[in-house]
């Protein structure tokens, strides 16, 4: 006859667990009998942690993709406006009076002196 180390209940000699409180008996410990609910809890915690990590990873990837997209759109905008500026600058200004082709930066027509 053995007694439970936790609650003191009388147990059979071949008992691995206390029938009253579920504590492992020295025999159960010696034989390495695992506690089912502890294993289940550890497994559940692990699963939860894995799931959380996986979700965080997914979220991270999604956020990264979103910001990459935003950055790409910004770069595209900048490129377009830069191209626009280059095009504007390279386009000559024509004098309204004589039709002379003047540079954009010219304030007066190079040919007739008209204010551009
Ligand atoms: Zn007990
Ligand atoms: Zn002119």
**pLDDT value of residue 116:** 87
Ligand nearest the Cα atom of residue 115: 2
**pLDDT value of residue 35:** 75
Ligand nearest the Cα atom of residue 25: 1
DSSP state of 25: P
16-29: buried (b, 16+ CB within 10 Å) or exposed (e) per residue?
A: bbbeeeebbbebbe
What separation in Å is there between the alpha carbon of 8 and the centre of ligand 1?
6
Contact predicate 42/30, CB 8 Å: no
What separation in Å is there between the alpha carbon of 4 and the centre of ligand 1?
5
**pLDDT value of residue 56:** 92
pLDDT (tens place) for every residue of the chain, 116 residues total: 899 999 999 999 999 999 999 899 999 889 888 777 777 888 888 899 999 999 999 999 999 999 999 999 999 999 999 888 888 777 788 999 999 998 888 899 989 999 98
Ligand nearest the Cα atom of residue 7: 1
What are the boundaries of each domain within the chain?
1-33
Ligand nearest the Cα atom of residue 96: 2
What separation in Å is there between the alpha carbon of 108 and the centre of ligand 2?
8
Question: Which residue shows structure tokens 């008996």?
Answer: 25
């Amino acid at each position: 006859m053995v007694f439970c180390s936790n609650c003191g209940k009388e147990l059979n000699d071949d008992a691995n667990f206390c029938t009253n409180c579920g504590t492992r008996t020295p025999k159960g410990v010696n034989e390495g009998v695992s506690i089912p609910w502890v294993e289940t809890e550890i497994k559940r915690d692990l699963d939860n942690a894995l799931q959380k990590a996986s979700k965080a990873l997914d979220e991270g990837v999604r956020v990264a993709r979103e910001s990459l997209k935003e950055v790409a759109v910004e770069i595209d905008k900048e490129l377009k406006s830069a191209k626009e500026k280059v095009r504007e600058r390279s386009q000559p200004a024509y004098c309204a009076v004589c039709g002379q082709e003047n540079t954009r930066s010219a304030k007066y027509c190079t040919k007739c002196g008209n204010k551009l």
